[in-house]
Structure 1
Amino acid sequence: MVALITIVTLAMIFNFTNGFHDAANAIATSVSTRALTLPVALGVAAVGNLVGSFFGAAVAATVGKGIIDLPVGSSSLLVVGAALVGAITWNLITWWKGLPSSSSHALIGGMVGAALAAGVSVIWGGVIEKVLIPMVVSPFAGFALAYLFMLAIMWGFRRANPAKVGRGFRVAQTVSATAMAFGHGMQDAAKTMGIVVLALVVAGKHEGPDIPIWVYFLTAGVLAAGTATGGKRIMKTLGTKIIELDPPQGFAAEATASSVLYVASIGFGAPVSTTHVISSAIMGAGATRRMSAVRWGVAGQMMQAWVSTFPAAGIVGALAYWAGSLVF
């Protein structure tokens, strides 16, 4: 029982780091365009994450039973714990560097690395279909949709007064930021719920993929608390370092990114990266001004972090398992 409590605690630590690490995903554009003040934006993100978490059961099922195949037993709890250590470590490193990397891929990378170190079966079909393919497709979708949506906005409001358009889209960003926060909750809270259910199952305390109601409330509450602490380092990268956005661009980025998250969550149960999607959407919306307006050097640094997240978290997860096996 002590081991299970330890794993659930680790899951909540990861969940909390996910909140402050990825809070910028939902609010960076709204804050940078001055559509929302930082305190209000953090509140919107926290509430959106809280509510959205109750609609992520399909993603939770993928994480809980579609990535690795763990037998019931204490050794399996060590695998789950090592996976969480890998994810938490990478989250903290990238947060410190101000790089908007993916908490989702950090968690799944940690799971795969710990499983391989333990000699446990990895469900490669699930990893490829539910993780790797969406990891590649979702950023391209975010960029292309935001670019096209922004072009439509520019055409539709081409004769409108720019000042009035700006004020209108600042109001609209309240809605799009809320939608983005809701989508983040559907994705990222669900991943933590999935890992908690996996721990309960291998500990022999739960059967099946259903999520106990206390897991919903605990995960949602901790994620909301983490979100409320903010993520100013990453927010600066997303909100200003990639490109200076105006309100219409901010709205286009948030609206298209949240749409991609909804389709991935509800349609496919795929644990995609909210970071990848919103970052790409910001680039797509900004590129309508001109391609050179996007600071591609910063974007390149972000992409390096994206590519390295899965293997880096996997390596830390494997090392954590080996260290834990020596102690336990």
Structure 2
Amino acid sequence: MSEPTRASTPLGILLSTVRYEERRLLSELERRGVTAVRLDPRSMSFAPKDAEALRGMTVLNREISSQRAALAAESLEAFGARPVNDASATRLCGNKWSTYLRLRQYGIPTPATLLAPTPETGLEAIDMIGYPAVIKPLSSSWGNRVSLITDRYAADAVLEHCAALPSAASRTVIVQEAVRPGSPDLRGIVVDGVCLGVIVRSSSDWRNNVARGATVEPYPPNEEVRRLCVRAAAAVGATIAGVDLVERADGGWTVLEVNSRVEFQGFERATGVDVAARIADACTAETIEVREPV
């Protein structure tokens, strides 16, 4: 574990909700003697008078809302601050279609995915993908509004519900190949180009979200999986990332999602890895490098 160090300039931490992860991070920064300035994106208007205070500040982005996290990261960069993750990575990871495109661009294995702006294109996409298929909103966490579609009746019902939502963004979904639904999946955490470890998530529900009660245990070291996690994080430009993977029927691994503001309570308890300390290391470093995917 890193020895406590005293920072000469304050470190910002962007958050509106303090959960286990934020408490751990604040405690770790305090242990190091780092002054942590808490920034609440719900009250930040980014007036010109704020520029001097923000200029040169490193800001750890832990905002729970994807939209607020992306807007704040973009604004912080414009005001001369250094958000971690940066605005580009935050926006990419906050949009599942954008994430898919970037993974595909860099040759990272990921399930077949199609964009569906309307119910009609959604049905066409499901016909191309085949049943079962997964319908996901462009932005969501903890498995919310993610549906496993096993027949045309379910497809009609879910897409009809999506069509009634108030905005074009919320009505637009992606249709994704269902890769062994109900089987355990993996989550790896990457910080500063290093995979800290991997856990297995299992659940009685087909969605293996810890927030939905999934159990976790450490996954034995596997260089192929760790390398894939690092490549996926680099593809989206994330210094800090949670990478979700699942094993295909042929034994290969495919990346489901990349999370830029990863929750790590279950990971720390399962692996014993001090994720908060590693994130603090990255945020207090003089320079932050994101490795190119290889």
Relative CO higher for 1 or 2, CA cutoff 8 Å, sep ≥ 6? 1
Q: Kindly indicate which of the two structures has a greater share of residues assigned to strand.
A: 2
TM-score, normalising length: structure 2: 0.28
Q: Kindly indicate which of the two structures has a greater share of residues assigned to helix.
A: 1
